């Protein structure tokens, strides 16, 4: 990936390195937190190997957001889904939740996707009961749309999309 890492103010987005997964794993203390983040097929308890397998790191772009002092602030992934740039497994470091790291991660992943792809929209799924994440996504311009036919858990999740920044 040319042009990496990407910097925006005091935040730095970079491709996730293998060592980053060890810290991200520490952000999930129980099965419920893993399910909310990774979905029902994500194994818990996990090992380093099963965590990486369930993140599907060979099939998705994985990113980390760092603060300017180098601390790992957030993690997220993206891939193409139905012709959209789809965001997945978005999470902020527990001490930084509610401080803007998640929003910055999403903005920077979308910008990175738009640099390399010609998507009209970005999309993501969120559990209906995950209100902090849901409110974050709405504040970034995502809107609930009809649930895709092939997507699981329609009774438990919302499907949200937003127009590509360059198309707003």
Q: Which residue has the higher pLDDT, 68 or 62?
A: 62
Q: Rounded to two decimals, what is the model's pTM?
A: 0.95
Contacts by residues 111-116 (CB-CB < 8 Å, ≥ 24 positions apart): 111/6, 111/8, 111/165, 112/6, 112/13, 112/61, 112/63, 112/78, 113/78, 113/85, 114/85, 114/164, 114/165, 114/166, 115/3
* Each residue's pLDDT tens digit, 10-56: 999 999 999 999 999 999 999 999 999 999 999 999 999 999 999 99
Structure confidence at residue 166 (pLDDT): 64
Kindly indicate the confidence band of residue 2, based on its pLDDT and cuts at 50, 70 and 90. Answer: low
Asked if residue 1 has pLDDT above 70, the reply is: no
Evaluate if residue 168 carries a pLDDT over 60: no
Among all chains, which residue has been given the structure tokens 């957001």? 65
Instruction: Say if domain 6-119 classifies as CATH 3.40.50.10140.
Output: no
- The model's pLDDT over 81-134, given as tens digits with 9 standing for 90+, comes to 999 999 999 999 999 999 999 999 999 999 999 999 999 999 999 999 999 999
Rg (C-alpha) for the chain, rounded Å, is 15
Residue 158 above 80 pLDDT?
Answer: yes
| Confidence check: pLDDT of 167 > 90 | no
**Nearest to 85, CA basis, from 61, 136, 121:** 121
Q: What average pLDDT does range 131-159 have in this prediction? A: 93
């Amino acid at each position: 990936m040319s042009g990496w890492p990407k910097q925006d103010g005091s935040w730095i987005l970079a491709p996730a390195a293998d060592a980053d997964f060890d810290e991200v794993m520490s952000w999930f203390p129980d099965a419920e937190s893993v399910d909310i983040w990774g979905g029902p097929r994500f194994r818990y308890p996990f090992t380093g190997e099963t965590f990486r397998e369930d993140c599907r790191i060979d099939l998705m772009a994985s990113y980390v957001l760092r603060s300017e002092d180098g601390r790992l602030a957030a993690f997220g992934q993206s891939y193409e889904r139905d012709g959209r740039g789809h965001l997945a497994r978005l999470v902020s470091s527990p001490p930084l939740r509610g401080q803007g790291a998640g929003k910055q991660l999403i903005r920077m992943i979308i910008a990175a996707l738009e640099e390399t792809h010609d998507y009209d929209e970005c999309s993501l799924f969120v559990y209906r009961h995950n209100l902090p994440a849901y409110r974050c996504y709405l504040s970034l311009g995502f809107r609930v749309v009809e649930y895709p036919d092939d997507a699981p858990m329609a009774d438990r999740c919302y499907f949200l999309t937003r127009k590509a920044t360059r198309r707003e």
